[in-house]
Chains A and B, each alone.
Chain A
Amino acid sequence: KNQVEQSPQSLIILEGKNCTLQCNYTVSPFSNLRWYKQDTGRGPVSLTIMTFSENTKSNGRYTATLDADTKQSSLHITASQLSDSASYICVVSGVDSSYKLIFGSGTRLLVRP
């Protein structure tokens, strides 16, 4: 069964610190992996999208990595800000079924001053 598992479920860090969120998936064959940010009471917003041939992609202070061999991805947030407090969702798409996006349950990040 295609699955996307994220860890940790929740995380609290101090403003200015870095953190890394993990995503493991079993979707095969794999097409691409996305990270979304979801603020409380809002819809998810795309941060990055990576194909199997990409190892790293950055979007400002957000850097996503992908290891297609081990089926693992991480999202690294540098110099966290209070506005980074949100849920971060890993989403994986398989080949030939692009509409069947498999969503992880997300990591809830709280950045404290």
Chain B
Amino acid sequence: NAGVTQTPKFRVLKTGQSMTLLCAQDMNHEYMYWYRQDPGMGLRLIHYSVGEGTTAKGEVPDGYNVSRLKKQNFLLGLESAAPSQTSVYFCASSYSLRGLSGANVLTFGAGSRLTVL
């Protein structure tokens, strides 16, 4: 069971460069999320998707774009990286947003550590 797989695990960028983080899940989950985790702060939602072809903004969406062309994949893009985007990025997926069926329990990937110089 692979669960949620993120690639790459580590990346160093220069300011202004672009890159894409890939998230893949094999659990047939409808919902997928991208979070960032910074020291001393809780995880913050960047963007999320409630199904193939749909995306929505989370708490901190500026500077990021996402796409969900296939149900199992959720891509996070940085068009012009900034040092403030240095962080650890986590992808997660779940069965449902509402109710307690599966209780919206998130399955997280192992994280992608991004450094922007």
A interface vs B, CB < 8 Å? Answer: 4, 32, 34, 41-46, 49, 51, 89, 93, 98-106
Contact = CB atoms under 8 A, between A and B. Distances in A.
A1 to B, nearest CB: 12
B106 A46 contact: yes
A51 B100 contact: yes
Contacts of B45: 99-101
B98 A98 contact: yes
Interface of B: 4, 31, 33, 40-45, 48, 58-59, 90, 92, 96-100, 103-106, 108-111
A43 B41 CA distance: 15
Contact of A4 (B31, B42, B92, B96): B42
The majority secondary structure among interface residues of chain B is: loop
Nearest to B4: A43
Contacts of A100: 45, 59
A89 B40 CA distance: 12
Given A4-B42, A89-B42, A103-B42, A34 B105 contact: yes
Given A105-B41, A105-B42, A99 B31 contact: yes
B17 to A, nearest CB: 24
A106 B41 CA distance: 8
Nearest 6 A/B pairs, CB to CB: A43-B108, A103-B42, A103-B43, A98-B97, A49-B103, A99-B97
29 contacts: A4-B42, A34-B103, A34-B105, A43-B90, A43-B108, A43-B109, A43-B111, A44-B90, A44-B108, A45-B108, A46-B106, A49-B103, A49-B105, A51-B100, A89-B43, A93-B104, A98-B96, A98-B99, A99-B33, A99-B45, A99-B48, A99-B58, A99-B97, A100-B45, A101-B45, A103-B44, A105-B41, A105-B42, A106-B42
